[in-house]
Amino acid sequence: MKSINLNISFEQYAGIEELTLADRTLCELSEKALASSYSPYSKFRVGTAIRLASGETILGSNQENLAYPSGLCAERVALFSIGSTYPNAVIESMAITAQTDNFEILKPITSCGGCLQVMAEFERKQKTPIEVIFYCLNGEVLKVPSVKSLLPFSFVEDRLER
């Protein structure tokens, strides 16, 4: 038997004011994406902004459906849009934020497992890391250098590609 420890490194910021201009802009765009959220059931709006290597930014927001779980998270909305519109694009960074009228969100929200798997697939496909920024409105920011840090055991089966 072998015992193995996994550690992740991330950066923690008190607020977006501490970020570079590019990262701050990405966070602000993820906040802008909240406006298109369709979340009448959970009342929990999520927005994401994804910066491509081309300099273009793609926004996504969560889209709910009464026939749960037919909705889709903000991250997957944006990623699948990139996959269908810009299939060869390279993703540099993505910022994710959330808001609700029901309570104050005090810490950055993180992506669900399904979104992490999709994010990992995009990172694997492009063979370069995707930086992920979790942004709490008017609060703390967490910055991770790669999706692999968030999901070290993502589903991978190379034989399926054949």
The domain tally of the chain equals 1
Q: Range of 16's domain?
A: 11-150
Span 77-86, pLDDT tens digits:
999 999 999 9
Q: Is residue 155 part of a domain?
A: no
Residue 59 lies in a domain: yes
Q: Is the pLDDT of residue 26 over 80?
A: yes
Q: Is residue 110 part of a domain?
A: yes
The pLDDT tens digits for 137-149 are 999 999 999 999 9
Banded model confidence at residue 13, pLDDT cuts 50, 70, 90: very high
- For residue 128, being part of any structural domain is answered with yes
| Distance from C-alpha of 143 to C-alpha of 121, rounded to nearest angstrom | 19
Q: Per-residue pLDDT averaged across 33-39, rounded? A: 98
Give Cβ neighbours of residue 64 (< 8 Å, ≥ 6 apart).
38, 39, 40, 41, 42, 71
What's residue 71's pLDDT?
Answer: 94
The pLDDT score that the predictor gives to residue 68 is 84
- 42 part of a folded domain: yes
Is residue 45 assigned to a domain?
yes
CA–CA separation, 120 and 40 (whole Å): 29
Q: Assign 6 a pLDDT band (cuts: 50, 70, 90).
A: confident
110-128 per-position pLDDT tens digit:
999 999 999 999 999 999 9
159 within a domain of the structure (yes/no): no
Which class for 159: exposed (0-12), middle (13-18), buried (19 or more C-beta within 10 A)?
exposed
- CATH code of the domain covering residue 142: 3.40.140.10
Strand partners of residue 95 = 49, 133
What confidence category does residue 152 fall into, taking pLDDT thresholds of 50, 70 and 90?
A: confident
Give the count of beta carbons closer than 10 Å to the beta carbon of residue 89. Answer: 17
- pLDDT tens-place string over residues 37-73: 999 999 999 999 999 999 999 999 999 999 988 999 9
Q: Are 120 and 158 in contact (CB under 8 A)?
A: no
What percent of the chain lies above the pLDDT cut of 90?
88
Q: Which residue has the higher pLDDT, 161 or 18?
A: 18
67, 75 Cβ separation under 8 angstroms: no
Query: Distance between CA atoms of 78 and 94, rounded to whole angstroms?
Result: 10
Mean pLDDT of the chain: 95
Q: Is the pLDDT of residue 30 over 80?
A: yes
Helices 113-126 and 74-85, interaxial angle, to 10°?
A: 30
